[in-house]
Chains A and B, each alone.
Chain A
Amino acid sequence: MTTVSDPPKEGFRLSQLIYDTRYRSMTIQIVALIGFLTLIFWLINNTATNLAELGKEPSFRFLSEPAGYDINQRLLDYQSQDTHLRAALIGLLNTLLVAVMGCITATIIGVIVGVLRLSKNWLVSRLMAVYVEMFRNVPVLLWIVFVMAVLIETLPAPRAFRGDNATASMMLNDSVAVTNRGVYVPEPLFSRGLGDIHLLGDSSLRFDVSLDLIAILIVLGLGFFVSHKIKQRADHVQETTGDRPTTWYLRLGVVSLPFIVLLYALGFHLGYPELKGFNFRGGTHMRNSLIALWLALSLYTAAFIAEIVRAGILAISHGQTEAAAALGLRQNRIMNLVVLPQALRVIIPPLISNYLNLTKNSSLAIAVGYMDITGTLGGITLNQTGRELETLLLLMLCYLIISLSISAVMNWYNESVKLRER
Chain B
Amino acid sequence: MSNIAFVRTEMLPEQAPPASAVGLIGWVRANLFSGWFNTLITLATLYVIYAILAAILPWAFSPTVGAGSLAECREILAESGKTGHFAGACWGVITERWQQLMFGFYPNGSDGVSADLRWRPVLAFVLLAVALAPVLFADKVPSKMIWFTAAFPFLYPWLHWGGSIWGPISALLGFVIGWFVFKTAEKVSSSLIGMISGVVAALVWWLTLSGFFSNALNSILPVGIEPVQSRLFGGFMLSVLIGVIAIACSLPLGIVLALGRQSDLLIVKAICVGFIEFIRGVPLITLLFVASTLLNIFLPPGTQFDIILRVLIMVTLFAAAYMAEVIRGGLAALPKGQYEGADSLGLDYWQAQRLIIMPQALKISIPGIVSTFIGVFKDTVLVSVIGLLDPLGLSNGIRADANWNGIVWEIYGFIALMFFVFCFSMSRYSMYLERKLQTGHR
Contact = CB atoms under 8 A, between A and B. Distances in A.
B192 A27 contact: yes
Nearest to B287: A396
A153 to B, nearest CB: 6
Interface in A359-407: 360-361, 363-364, 366-367, 374, 378, 382, 388-389, 392, 395-396, 399-400, 403-404
A49 B296 CA distance: 12
A320 interface: no
A122 B34 CA distance: 11
A46 B298 CA distance: 6
B208 interface: no
Interface in B40-91: 41-42, 45-46, 48-49, 85
Interface in A19-43: 19, 24-25, 27-33, 36, 43
Given A36-B271, A388-B297, A29 B265 contact: yes
Given A28-B265, A360-B283, A138 B416 contact: yes
B286 A395 contact: yes
A22 to B, nearest CB: 13
Contacts of A217: none
Interface string A36-72: 1000000100110111010000000000000000000
Q: Name, among B45, B299, B300, the residue most crowded by chain A CB atoms within 10 Å (CB to CB).
A: B45
Contacts of B15: none
Contacts of B294: 388-389, 392
A327 to B, nearest CB: 24
A24 B192 contact: yes
A399 B265 CA distance: 29
A123 B42 contact: yes
Contact of B293 (A124, A149, A153, A388): A388
B122 to A, nearest CB: 23
Given A142-B412, A389-B297, A403 B281 contact: yes
Nearest to B271: A36
Contacts of A136: 423, 427
A264 interface: no
Nearest to B189: A18
Interface string B282-312: 1111100110011011111100000000000
Interface stretch (B165-173, B329-337, B379-387): B379-387
Interface string B17-39: 00000000000000110100010
B301 A141 contact: no
Q: Name, among A141, A146, A389, the residue most crowded by chain B CB atoms within 10 Å (CB to CB).
A: A141
A51 B392 contact: no
A194 B424 CA distance: 56
A149 B286 contact: no
Contact of B381 (A50, A53, A139, A360): A139
A133 interface: yes
Interface in B401-422: 408-409, 412, 415-416, 419-420
B343 to A, nearest CB: 12
B298 A364 contact: no
Contacts of B271: 32, 36
Contacts of B34: 120
B277 interface: yes
Contacts of A120: 31, 34, 38
A137 interface: yes
A140 interface: yes
A363 B284 CA distance: 9
B273 interface: no
B190 interface: yes
Contacts of B301: 46, 49-50, 53
Mostly helix, strand, loop or mixed at chain A's interface?
Answer: helix
A233 to B, nearest CB: 38
B345 interface: no
B408 A28 contact: no
A24 B385 CA distance: 47
B118 interface: no
A145 interface: yes
Contacts of B48: 127
Q: Name, among B264, B271, B293, the residue most crowded by chain A CB atoms within 10 Å (CB to CB).
A: B293
A121 interface: yes
Contacts of A149: 408-409, 412
B281 A142 contact: no
Given A18-B193, A389-B294, A396-B286, A32 B268 contact: yes
A344 interface: no
B378 A139 contact: yes
Contact of B42 (A121, A141, A364): A121
A139 B379 contact: yes
Interface in B387-442: 392, 408-409, 412, 415-416, 419-420, 423-424, 427
A393 B24 CA distance: 63
B286 A134 contact: no
A142 B283 contact: no
Contacts of A403: 280-282
Contact of A32 (B32, B265, B300): B265
Given A149-B412, A378-B289, A403-B282, A367 B385 contact: yes
Interface string A263-278: 0000000000000000
Interface of B: 31-32, 34, 38, 41-42, 45-46, 48-49, 85, 189-190, 192-193, 196, 264-268, 271, 277-278, 280-286, 289-290, 293-294, 296-301, 374, 378-379, 381-382, 384-385, 392, 408-409, 412, 415-416, 419-420, 423-424, 427
29 contacts: A18-B189, A25-B265, A29-B265, A31-B196, A32-B267, A33-B267, A36-B267, A50-B301, A51-B297, A53-B301, A120-B31, A121-B42, A123-B31, A123-B42, A138-B378, A139-B378, A139-B381, A141-B384, A142-B392, A142-B416, A146-B416, A149-B409, A363-B283, A366-B285, A367-B385, A392-B293, A400-B278, A400-B281, A403-B280
